[in-house]
Structure 1
């Protein structure tokens, strides 16, 4: 039985107005997309703002409450699923990786927001009532624009989206890095990219520091300054996250997963996983398959 996590592309969804974006009321969307309730990934950015409903949302195997005023931001590749106790509604927008490429001169602009950090705890926020009203207005304007054919419509939608990002980020109290292309920000983004490429073979900060032409102390200091975690913690979190994603696939044995993650043997992988998660890989697999209805 294959239970590998499916990946959905933005082309799997009905276009909103132009290629690269889908916008809808969440109530309608949730009724027409049954995959919401099973663990899956997207190849695009994804955000949801709830105005009603209750339940839970799992992002990268962490559980968050669904409630009015909650906003969820996700980057490509993250694993998530939903479960609802009361009928939900609100707004949902999906947009492709290159949706802003022709609009923003700074290709790394979105990475200056903590809501797009890829760290689930920073991507789920609850906004105050005044911000919720402002966000709802922006979403409504985006939906209205989808029915029009006026000039500069696509650019108007992009500016409304940017307003949503900025208003949501401001509500977190986090400092938005205006100088997203600053030296340390650039190094940090490159470090994240290197982790995504090499986490299977490079597991020590020293190896990444060499690739970035900086000292391990400098790498560790800028990671703590930007995201509050050490370089070693970021590497370990990526390894653990990928282990969890692989554990959902029942076709892979624990030994297979240990081999894919380049552990010397599966017993060391089991010890590593249990040390950081508090349970064995097998127990994690069983609990999450049951939880996601696999």
Structure 2
């Protein structure tokens, strides 16, 4: 099962995996229909502290991930990483499968702690998190979920490892929909870019300038900007600003958190400066953005 733990600073609900038994509290896999029946507040924006994967076999509606809206349809799979804000709006009955697992679930099984980041759908980009499963793969994907549900019904050491193998098999199959079967090793610049993005995700509230990140990467600001321009088509400063804006939107989800409190959380010197910054890059004020959100799911 899941439990909710309100976060004092963030305000909106954060779901954690818990109550799965004393032996293995790091994974949950089950059909989606009973999962929905058990958790009635999926329409309210929330975060997870775990990886969250949903495969639909029936139903419709919409799903919003980090403020990107997607139409739900059968044979569609959603993959989310810890920290992303999302909510569902279903129409009629939906079914499929859900797989939740913590970051530690594979740590003792894999030598590479960053292995999951190799999969594009687990990189925290909403546009890459939605996969349409082709007809040729549907039977196999469904079979893997059925096997995982069966294994999860009674977990011991052997069955847990079998469950991990099935999950990794699923991820590898899904990866063929987004990347070449044998992707080329990351270039030096691509590795630097990924490390830059990880640093931004960790320090965006305190480090705002490209030169700060260039220093952490032991390269020049010009080199960092050139990498971002070549591989992303945007400057390093834009990468940092987009991450700040994303977190601002995530915090504004909570109506009990004042705009001034959001500004303070993001280390803006005052509310006025934060409002100007937000409006410059979103073309709307924090208050107007929040009001639009309330209209969407209120």
TM-score by length of 2: 0.87
Counterpart check, 1:155 vs 2:161: yes
Aligned residues: 290
Closer, same or farther in 2 for the Cα pair 1:112/1:221, shift >3 Å?
farther
Q: CA offset at residue 33 of structure 1? A: 0.6
User: In structure 1, which of residues 187, 194, 197 is the aligned counterpart of residue 199 of structure 2?
Assistant: 194
Q: CA offset at residue 188 of structure 1? A: 3.7
Q: In the aligned structure 2, how far is the partner of 1:226 from the partner of 1:141?
A: 39
Closer, same or farther in 2 for the Cα pair 1:176/1:198, shift >3 Å?
farther
Q: In the aligned structure 2, how far is the partner of 1:134 from the partner of 1:231?
A: 41
Match of 2:3 in 1: none
Q: CA offset at residue 125 of structure 1? A: 1.7
Q: CA offset at residue 176 of structure 1? A: 6.7
Closer, same or farther in 2 for the Cα pair 1:184/1:100, shift >3 Å?
farther
Counterpart check, 1:60 vs 2:66: yes
Q: Say if 1:113 and 1:177, in contact at 8 Å, map to a contact too.
A: no
Counterpart check, 1:211 vs 2:216: yes
Q: Say if 1:169 and 1:176, in contact at 8 Å, map to a contact too.
A: no
Q: Where does 1:1-294 land on structure 2 (aligned, <5 Å)?
A: 4-11=11-18, 14=20, 18-147=24-153, 152-173=158-179, 177=183, 179=185, 183-184=188-189, 186-223=191-228, 230-293=235-298
Q: Deviations over 1:74-100 (max 9, x none)?
A: 111111111101211111000011100
> SS where residue 55 of structure 2 aligns?
strand
Q: Say if 1:43 and 1:77, in contact at 8 Å, map to a contact too.
A: yes
Q: Deviations over 1:147-166 (max 9, x none)?
A: 35677321221111112112
Q: In the aligned structure 2, how far is the partner of 1:133 from the partner of 1:217?
A: 49
Unpaired runs of 5+ in structure 1? none
State the structure with bigger RCO (CA 8 A, min sep 6), 1 or 2: 1
Q: In the aligned structure 2, how far is the partner of 1:225 from the partner of 1:118?
A: 21
Q: CA offset at residue 24 of structure 1? A: 0.6
Q: In the aligned structure 2, how far is the partner of 1:176 from the partner of 1:278?
A: 42
Instruction: Compute the RMSD of aligned alpha carbons.
Output: 2.6
Deviates more, 1:45-54 or 1:163-172: 163-172
Q: In the aligned structure 1, how far is the partner of 2:118 from the partner of 2:28?
A: 23
Q: In the aligned structure 2, how far is the partner of 1:222 from the partner of 1:176?
A: 24
Q: In the aligned structure 1, how far is the partner of 2:69 from the partner of 2:54?
A: 15
Q: CA offset at residue 102 of structure 1? A: 0.8
Deviates more, 1:32-41 or 1:265-274: 265-274
Q: Deviations over 1:113-148 (max 9, x none)?
A: 110111111111212111222211111111122235
Q: In the aligned structure 1, how far is the partner of 2:268 from the partner of 2:155?
A: 55
TM-score by length of 1: 0.88
Q: In the aligned structure 2, how far is the partner of 1:159 from the partner of 1:226?
A: 33
Deviates more, 1:63-72 or 1:182-191: 182-191
Q: In the aligned structure 2, how far is the partner of 1:279 from the partner of 1:174?
A: 39
